[in-house]
Structure 1
Amino acid sequence: MLNYFLLTLTLTGYNLSYYNCYFHYAVAQINLEGVAHMELNTKLAQVIVDRMMKTIPYNINMMNDEGIIIASGDNTRIGKLHTEAIRVLRKNEILKFSHNDLKENVQPGVNIPVNFHDQTIGVIGITGDPQEVTPFALLLKSSTELLLEQQSFQQIEENKQNKLTRFLFRWTQKDIDFDTTKNLEKEALELNIDFYFERTVVIIKCSAKKLLDLRLEQDNFHLNRSVNTQVLICKDLSTVKKCINFAHNHNYRVGVGSTTKNIGKSFYEAQTVIKISTLLDKDYIYYREVKFIQQLLTSDLADKTLVEKFSMLDNTESGTDLLNTLLTYLKNSGNMNKTASDLHIHRNTLLYRLSKIHNLIGLNPHKFTDLFQLFLTLLTYLNHKNPQLKIH
């Protein structure tokens, strides 16, 4: 659009060859980040003035919708009333004046209205011979209005994203009452989301930035739950597999809940997978793999006396080694060779440690019932030891 205005001005006789590329570059460099309001405010106006005055040899003033100078190449004029700008605002038309028209706080030049959504929200003034500065004022008007449109679009999109984020956060709550459900249903309708479509929650432990490489199709949703917890609400199993493959390829921990209309339930399940995987240092993926472990942890079946013994063991270096040995032994389903290999110890050393556990705890790791009790006790101890991972 800027090129169009440049071409138009050239065809009408204005020689802008020296300024064309510089003006276009200056407009492109204006950064709207941090500008929050849909109006010609001081911050945006001064950014535009500063950029443009590096490009053209004329002073620029910008006035708000009350005719007050809010930005200028001449700082002494900021805050003063520009009487001619009031006329421009009232009539919504270009006003030119020469040396013969000098008035208080007014210099020769041109004043042009700035319009946004059929409203006059400000005035641009450039000081100088009207014949010379008018083409620049037209360009500046065009670029300013384009920037305002861009700003408006950015804020609309930001508001939409914020609304979606708030919705997704509440949607992933485990226990929500009837009224909250109805409110969420209404919000989903406004966001064009099928609230009762069955979906699967996938949690990947990584930063939001790392997730940029994972490109999801429409109707799949991403919630940046925390710095290193990304929640993905997937509409189909192919997307779930895509997320799992992405996590594995980047060595990120991943948890998958069940496919259900209850997104809060699926989120809780995926979160449980992550917690138990971290607790036992084992790469579980699906909730069905850890469901029994979760039930054990929430059943309060462990012998509290044994849990206290584990706690005492963990307070010594040798005891911590024994607990780590037991955990590795359990992870490998009692496979002696695999356990010794994972711990980088000799098989006889492993036998010695298991015997030591038997003597200290009173349960034999080689007996199934005792091993199950050791497993339950270790689970309970680790769950209490790590409050941030605690399974409820």
Structure 2
Amino acid sequence: MLQPELAEKIVREVQKLITEEIIVVNTQGIIMASTNRSRIGTFHEGALITSQQKKKLIITENETSQLKGVKSGINLPIFFQQEVIGVIGITGDPETVTPFGEIIRKMTELLISENYYGEQFDYHSRAMETFVLEWLQAKEPSPNILQRARVLTINLELRRAVIIIEFQQREHPLSRDVWSSILNSFTQNKNDVVTRSGNERIIVLLDCSDSVQPVSIKNRLEHFLQFIKNSFGITAYAGVGQCSVPSNLSQSYGQAERALKLARRIRGIIFDEELILEMVTGEITSEIKAEYIHRTIEPLLTEKDLLETLVELFKQNHSLKNTAQSLHIHINTLHYRLKKIEELTHLNPNSIQDLFCLYLGVQFLDE
């Protein structure tokens, strides 16, 4: 429970309040941490007595010769869940340091409690993340998965939709406290399963057994994404798979991944059922997409004006008038650029088939 790393942290924190020498001792009387490094690992008889008697021990200057490894001061038992787990000692004139005793002990116990519950959160997060990933990959729940589901109080029989929420890339990982706030803020339905996945994703297995409407899911997601942006400055987007029976949950996960690709581009929320062209393009490998760009629009990559014109043409639904106005160019200049695009790519923007080929090239380039 009381490890050397935590003992060192306690000493550092107590040092901020008082300048006296501090020691943290385990229940066997061995000093684990101290402001005086030479005392670490030595035996402290006063701390052992304090641990055994479960009460404060004041050591005067006259008593230092009677107990092994002690100095004058005060020793206080550290309690956690009504058990003594260690001792904190403050060296100095007992009359001077005793008034600090209870404050120091309470602060120490709060640090230990905070550390314990933080470790519990980390353990539960790792267990939940591992369980969900194994569950999504399993065709049928194994006895091991069934047992862990009971421990985690997860119902494996519900229809669910998988949601993947992804954070925009960040320089530093999120702290434990931030993760705790984020995960707790999403849970509204007791049957929803919410877990982190790595440092930049959340996976939600949403209970849709009561025919939850997409608009309701979208409202929840919009509220959640706005919350983490306002609270923690995190920009996030989400892909939502379709509601699936338990045996088909991996399919919903694949749909959420597919929807996330588009959500990542538009920085928004995309439902798989909204996808049309992306159903096909999402299955194409990055290598094939790169080769496709090479065969279609690669000559335009060094021609900024031409590529910009083509992109704008698609934005304006092939309206030449609106494209020219948007680019602030004369219509004749637009015709000249389109002719130049045809010469370089051998694809005619006025041909539906060629135009579609150019469109795919721009989409793949954007990815």
Please indicate the TM-score interval, normalised by the length of the shorter structure.
0.5 to 0.7
**2:42 partner SS:** coil
Partner of 1:201: 163
**2:88 partner SS:** strand
1:168–1:373 CA distance, 2 compared to 1 (3 A): farther
CA contact (8 A) 2:125 2:196 kept: no
TM-score, normalised via structure 1 length = 0.64
Report percent identity of matched pairs: 26
Partners of 2:282 and 2:14 lie apart in 1 by: 65
The 5-angstrom pairing of residues 293-312 of structure 1 reads: 293-295=278-280, 298=283, 308-312=294-298
Partner of 1:216: 186
User: Does residue 374 in structure 1 map to residue 338 in structure 2?
Assistant: no
Can you list the C-alpha shifts for 1:18-38, whole angstroms capped at 9, x where unaligned? Answer: xxxxxxxxxxxxxxxxxxx64
Partner of 1:190: 151
Structure 1 residue 276, shift from structure 2 partner = 4.7
1:69–1:266 CA distance, 2 compared to 1 (3 A): same
User: Does residue 259 in structure 1 map to residue 240 in structure 2?
Assistant: no
Query: Which residue of 108, 112, 118 maps to 1:148?
Result: 112
Partner of 2:124: 160
Structure 1 residue 60, shift from structure 2 partner = 4.4
Q: Across the two proteins, how many residue pairs are aligned to each other?
A: 335
Can you list the C-alpha shifts for 1:173-217, whole angstroms capped at 9, x where unaligned? Answer: 6xx243677755554443333343322525456368899899534
1:277–1:131 CA distance, 2 compared to 1 (3 A): closer
TM-score, normalised via structure 2 length = 0.67
Letter in 1 for 2:261: K
User: Does residue 51 in structure 1 map to residue 16 in structure 2?
Assistant: yes
1:202–1:72 CA distance, 2 compared to 1 (3 A): closer
Partner of 1:268: 254
Q: Which moved more, 1:79-88 or 1:261-270?
A: 261-270
User: Does residue 334 in structure 1 map to residue 299 in structure 2?
Assistant: no
Structure 1 residue 43, shift from structure 2 partner = 0.4
Letter in 1 for 2:122: E
CA contact (8 A) 1:216 1:239 kept: no
1:372–1:43 CA distance, 2 compared to 1 (3 A): same
Partner of 2:336: 352
Q: Which moved more, 1:118-127 or 1:242-251?
A: 242-251
Letter in 1 for 2:275: V
Structure 1 residue 246, shift from structure 2 partner = 7.3
How large is the RMSD of aligned CA atoms in angstroms?
Answer: 4.6
Can you list the C-alpha shifts for 1:128-168, whole angstroms capped at 9, x where unaligned? Answer: 66677555444533443333223212221232233334445
**1:178 partner SS:** coil
The 5-angstrom pairing of residues 54-93 of structure 1 reads: 54=19, 59-72=21-34, 76-93=38-55
Partners of 2:225 and 2:54 lie apart in 1 by: 58
Structure 1 residue 379, shift from structure 2 partner = 1.8
CA contact (8 A) 1:62 1:72 kept: yes
Q: Which moved more, 1:289-298 or 1:147-156?
A: 289-298
Structure 1 residue 364, shift from structure 2 partner = 4.1
1:354–1:297 CA distance, 2 compared to 1 (3 A): farther
**1:199 partner SS:** strand
Query: Which residue of 272, 285, 288 maps to 1:287?
Result: 272
CA contact (8 A) 1:109 1:127 kept: yes
1:135–1:323 CA distance, 2 compared to 1 (3 A): closer
CA contact (8 A) 2:237 2:267 kept: no
Letter in 2 for 1:291: I
Partners of 2:250 and 2:284 lie apart in 1 by: 22
1:205–1:181 CA distance, 2 compared to 1 (3 A): farther
1:114–1:246 CA distance, 2 compared to 1 (3 A): closer
Structure 1 residue 306, shift from structure 2 partner = 8.3
**1:259 partner SS:** coil
CA contact (8 A) 2:125 2:195 kept: no
Partner of 2:232: none
Stretches of structure 2 lacking an aligned partner (at least 5 in a row):
230-234
- Structure with higher Rg: it is 1
Query: Which residue of 206, 213, 218 maps to 1:240?
Result: 218
**2:186 partner SS:** coil
Partners of 2:268 and 2:93 lie apart in 1 by: 75
Partner of 1:20: none
